[in-house]
A and B are shown apart, each in its own frame.
Chain A
Amino acid sequence: MSLALAFRDVGKRFGETRVLEAFDLEVPSGEKLAIIGPSGSGKSTVLRIAMALEGIDTGRVELMGETLWEGTRRPPERELRRLRLQAGMVFQHFNLFPHMSVLENIWRAPVDVAGIGREEAETRARELLSRVGLAERAEAMPDQLSGGQKQRVAIARALAMRPPVMLFDEVTSALDPEMVGEVLGVLRDLADQGGITMLLVTHEMQFAAEIADRVVFMDGGRVVEDGPPSQVIGAPVEPRTRAFLASVLRGADVRAD
């Protein structure tokens, strides 16, 4: 089976902070991978490296069979842009373009970057909007939307470029609790539909257990436990995974009180 993404012995530091150390991860095409772990363990960094927003220091990263990063070598700007088309990213804080309508947020990159005609791009944008349940908000400006709606638009925007790999970085963490469900619903549909490789960094253990094929628990810049959700979330083997899940569940209890 071909690999969508591969991290091979990757090291990454910010100044004195070692963020990733001897980090290895292989993601087969079409897999839905959940990444969990405590704050500061390097989860976002993994996604940002895969999105080519961040380089690495040692090792090698391959995206859809091509080398994205190798040591500190930085591919030329053009090459980087071509490789970026293989991945799309959805951010915790949406990062919608506030000066563009919802619809333009979605069609702008297909037109400017992929060179698709404006009319076709708008049609596709409307289709995507109805897929995320926002067909009637096409002409709205982002600041007129709720957090959940913004995040659904952000998902549609990333999908519009039809990347084979989608990266989701805690996409429900900035939302009010009553809006988490609508966004998870969109992710679930996407997962069910198949065909796209999905990496989800999430604190929603229940959700991760439901939709992921595989779960990776990270701590201190390494993969500590790696297996099916039934193992990593259901019956973790590693003491650190257990301790983490216990603290997450305690957190959930506290919130439920």
Chain B
Amino acid sequence: MTFDWAYAAAILPALLEGLVITVQATALGMVVALTLGLAMAVVRQGGPRWLGWSVGQFIEFVRSTPLLIQLYFLFYVLPEIGVALSPLATGILALGVHYAAYCAEVYRAGINGVSRGQWEAAASLGFSPWQTWRRVVLPQALPPVIPALGNYLVAMFKDTPLLSAITVMEVLQVAKITGAESFRYLEPLTLVGVMFLALSLAAAQLIRGLERRFGRLGRAA
């Protein structure tokens, strides 16, 4: 079997359309993961005890079960409780929640890196809890963890093909359908692999840049 360049060129536009969906799912999933993860980390540290505990259990649960099962769960159970989301939206939600659990742990490490003296200085000046988070703690906690969060962005990107399991027309799903129609899988799957490789390499480059920019841990003065 030889690689058919003409065929590859012919299916490329369809695959690129799938890639756009993949990138979309990753980007939106990451927005969900970053915000929900931060909210969970803050609640764990500063919220009421029972809520912090619940969030901790939830994080543990999410991290201990496979993403694929979480995907199926949301895909089949949400409609039953009256929540009608498109497959793509369901996929974004699942990716977001799954990676939020990991991001929350990363944020937590950053928050723990801010010394108790910073909290006390803020309190002694009369800052409210919200002002303390916004003005004192997060500006110190976030920059050092940006590279680690970037790594999860890449990991999430590589997990998006799982969305094909719930019929999302992301790039792998398009490749499988194309292959099934023409009985040729070499070209579509090779192209998909190359696409992931190229974007992952670009992202890795970005993360190295972030590490150079933010990599040093913030120290207290």
Asked whether A33 is an interface residue with its Cβ less than 8 Å from the other chain, the reply is no
Whether B117 contacts A91 by the Cβ 8 Å rule is yes
In whole Å, how far is B176's beta carbon from the nearest beta carbon of chain A? 49
Residue of A nearest to B143 (CB): A99
Asked whether B66 is an interface residue with its Cβ less than 8 Å from the other chain, the reply is no
- Tell me the count of chain A residues lying within 8 A, CB to CB, of chain B: 31
Residue of A nearest to B123 (CB): A53
Q: Could you tell me the dominant secondary structure of chain B's interface residues? A: helix
CA distance A97 to B124 in the complex (A): 13
In the complex, which of the residues A77, A98, A114 contacts B219, with contact meaning CB atoms closer than 8 Å?
A: A98
Q: Which residues of B in the span 113-145 have a Cβ within 8 Å of any Cβ on A?
A: 115, 117-118, 120-121, 123-129, 131, 135-136, 139-140
Whether A158 contacts B124 by the Cβ 8 Å rule is yes
Whether A84 contacts B124 by the Cβ 8 Å rule is yes
Q: Which residues in A have their C-beta under 8 angstroms from that of B220? A: 93, 95, 98
Asked whether A142 is an interface residue with its Cβ less than 8 Å from the other chain, the reply is yes
* Given A91-B117, A143-B219, A143-B221, A112 contacting B139 (CB threshold 8 A): no
Q: Which residues in B have their C-beta under 8 angstroms from that of A114? A: 126
Q: Which residues in A have their C-beta under 8 angstroms from that of B121? A: 91, 95-97
Central interface residue in B125, B127, B128, by most chain A CB within 10 Å = B125
CA distance A112 to B219 in the complex (A): 24
Residue of A nearest to B124 (CB): A89
* Given A95-B220, A98-B140, A99-B140, A161 contacting B120 (CB threshold 8 A): no
Q: Which residues in B have their C-beta under 8 angstroms from that of A53? A: 120, 123-124
Whether B127 contacts A112 by the Cβ 8 Å rule is yes
CA distance A141 to B125 in the complex (A): 19
Q: Which residues in A have their C-beta under 8 angstroms from that of B128? A: 77, 81, 113
- Tell me the count of chain B residues lying within 8 A, CB to CB, of chain A: 21
In whole Å, how far is B203's beta carbon from the nearest beta carbon of chain A? 27
Asked whether A85 is an interface residue with its Cβ less than 8 Å from the other chain, the reply is yes
CA distance A84 to B221 in the complex (A): 23
Asked whether B218 is an interface residue with its Cβ less than 8 Å from the other chain, the reply is yes
CA distance A88 to B121 in the complex (A): 9
Whether B129 contacts A113 by the Cβ 8 Å rule is no
A51-62 Cβ-contact flags toward B at 8 Å (1 or 0): 111000000000
Central interface residue in B126, B128, B136, by most chain A CB within 10 Å = B126
Asked whether A175 is an interface residue with its Cβ less than 8 Å from the other chain, the reply is no
Provide a sorted-by-A list of 25 A–B residue pairs whose CB atoms are within 8 angstroms.
Answer: A53-B124, A77-B129, A84-B123, A88-B125, A89-B120, A91-B117, A94-B221, A95-B117, A95-B220, A96-B121, A96-B221, A97-B136, A98-B219, A99-B218, A109-B126, A109-B127, A112-B131, A112-B135, A141-B221, A142-B221, A143-B221, A145-B221, A158-B124, A158-B125, A161-B126
Nearest first, the 4 A-B pairs at minimum CB distance are: A142-B221, A95-B121, A109-B125, A98-B221
